[in-house]
Structure 1
Amino acid sequence: MAQFQWLNVSESSGGGALGVIFSVAFFRGLDPAEVVRRFSRGENSGQESDFGGLDDKAYEFVNETDGGDGGGYVGVFKVGEWCVAIEPHGWMVTLHEVVTELSRGCEVLAVTRHDYAAEHSFEYAIDGTVVTGYRLRHPHERYGSDPDRLNGFMQELGMGLDKPEDEAAWDAAWEENYDTAVPRGFALAAKVTGVQFRPDMLDRPMLVGPILEK
């Protein structure tokens, strides 16, 4: 999982390229413009930009809204048969009511890192239904229409899938998952999608558009 440690840099060490609050989603069955349209509820098909432009827009949005509404923007680019959507400073894509809507007629896998008021999370949805989801530090608490669907991959990554039976086991599970949760979440995403989210992907051109809520 060393290749995903760049997504796990602590705030005291600078937070890394994406900081300590961000989401990354993988879409199969849509092109980048359609992904942007879904985030913007049909209002916007995106403007060509780069990660710097995306991050600037998100930073301005955070300053205007005091950070309580996420980053407000998403950047999308194509990788093979998947689109990758980056949501700096945001967590909207892993909200249940959002990911189910985004996944209608397609497949979406999303991972959120959130070091503050929320928790790191993973959502895998197909055609409007969450198939498997879990909080990244709690792989033993899975949910969805098929919560065990990814168990084989999760076990390959060393995740403990059985619910701890006593306080000592809970403490051990927390210790085991605390620092490894985010890299393991992105490693699991790579196993499902075949896309390894790498730092050089931030150098790619992308379509940038707003995230509009209902």
Structure 2
Amino acid sequence: MTSATAADYGWIRSSSSLFAYALEVGYTLTLARGVSPSEVFRIVGAEPRGECAGLDEFIREQQEFSDEYEEWPEAFLAGAFTTRGEGGGWTLALEFGGDLGTRPRLMEALSAGTRAVSHSSNGGKPMDFFHWYEDGELRTTFEWPADRAGSTPDELNGMMREVGLNPTGDEAPGIDRKAAVLALTERLTGVRVTEELLAEAEYQVAEVPEEPAEEWAGITVDITDAHGERTYVDVDRTQL
């Protein structure tokens, strides 16, 4: 296990860093051990679109792809490559405005018999999420470190403290929570994400369709008014 801390990822806040673009527009970064980029794309039903030499080229292709849509795109581009980490090769998948690492069914499939970790931001006034899956199971997830969920929400508490996150309250002054999340991810994967790694990698690129909305059969209206009177009605789709 590495000894990474938030201090090792201070570079992400440099205005000249490629990660600054990710923080501005929103991103998802996913790491899965022992799964190839092509297998990631097969599982998610993505259409391959060749390769990009480095992150600059991938960003340009992503921007040109988004410009093809007059309104909100019905798909997004993901770029992925293999790098070394704890226990062998890991696929690093990155997308801007996408949601691969937040899709439960995909993460369950990627982590079956292995491990997958992701973190994300929606840009702007961000919501930032972290997910750790092991053997197809969501073990720990959080937006705020003190508000965790999963089958083992407290298992990473010691590691979180070591990287600069506080699982019981606010972080110490000066701690960059996003940098600390990258350090936590490194401790779980053994993959040191550097600006050089992202900038120089050969990305396999694929077009990922939006996740289909789940079918629903109806809705339930359950309201209790100020006088304690309760209204409870099941309404199926044919009645709407």
TM-score range, shorter chain: 0.7 to 0.9
Which of the residues 127, 143, 160 maps onto 1:154?
Answer: 160
Distance apart, 1:66 and its partner CA: 6.7
**Which region of structure 1 is more displaced relative to structure 2, 56-65 or 138-147?**
56-65
Match of 1:60 in 2: 64
Residue 183 of structure 1: how far off its partner (Å): 0.3
| 1:72 partner SS | strand
1:34-49, aligned counterparts within 5 Å?
34-39=39-44, 41=45, 43-45=46-48, 47-49=50-52
Decide whether aligned partners of structure 1 residues 132 and 194 sit closer, same or farther in structure 2, where only a CA change above 3 A counts: same
Aligned residue-pair number: 199
In structure 2, do the counterparts of structure 1 residues 69 and 16 end up closer, same or farther at CA, with 3 Å as the change threshold? same
Offset at residue 97 of structure 1 (A): 4.8
TM-score, normalised via structure 2 length: 0.70
Deviates more, 1:143-152 or 1:117-126: 117-126
Partner of 2:139, secondary structure, is strand
CA RMSD of aligned residues (A): 3.1
The answer (yes or no) to whether the contact 2:78–2:93 under 8 Å persists in 1 is yes
Is the alpha carbon distance of 1:31 and 1:98 closer, same or farther for their aligned partners in structure 2, counting shifts above 3 Å?
Answer: closer
Inter-CA distance 52–118: structure 2 relative to 1 (3 Å threshold): same
CA, structure 1 residues 71+199, in 2 after alignment: closer, same or farther (shift >3 Å)? farther
Match of 1:167 in 2: none
Same amino acid, percent of matched pairs: 24
Greater helix percent: which structure? 1
Kindly indicate which of the two structures has a greater share of residues assigned to strand: 2
Distance 2:98 2:14 in 1: 17
Q: Secondary structure at the match of 2:93?
A: strand
Higher gyration radius (CA): 2
The answer on 1:199 being equivalent to 2:205 is no
- 1:14–1:207 Cα change, 3 Å: closer
Secondary structure, counterpart of 1:187 in structure 2: helix
Among 85, 90, 96, the residue aligned to 1:88: 96
| Distance (whole Å) between structure 2 residues aligned to residue 155 and residue 38 of structure 1 | 34
C-alpha displacement of 1:108: 1.1
Partner of 1:208: 205
Are 2:90 and 1:76 equivalent residues in the alignment? Answer: no
Q: How does 1:142-181 map to 2 (within 5 A)?
A: 142-162=148-168, 164=169, 173=170, 176=173, 180-181=176-177
Deviation, structure 1 residue 112: 0.6
Unaligned 5+ residue runs, structure 1? 165-172
The question of whether the paired residues in 1 share the 8 Å contact of 2:13 and 2:20 is answered with yes
The residue aligned with 2:231 is none
Who is 1:132 aligned against?
140
**Aligned counterpart, 2:27:** 22
Q: Which runs of 5+ in 2 are unaligned?
A: 1-5, 213-240
**CA shift at 1:55, angstroms?**
1.4
Query: d(CA) in 2 for partners of 1:59 and 1:36?
Result: 20
What SS does the corresponding residue of 1:16 show, helix, strand or coil?
Answer: helix
Secondary structure of the structure 2 residue equivalent to 1:211: strand
TM-score normalised over the length of structure 1? 0.77
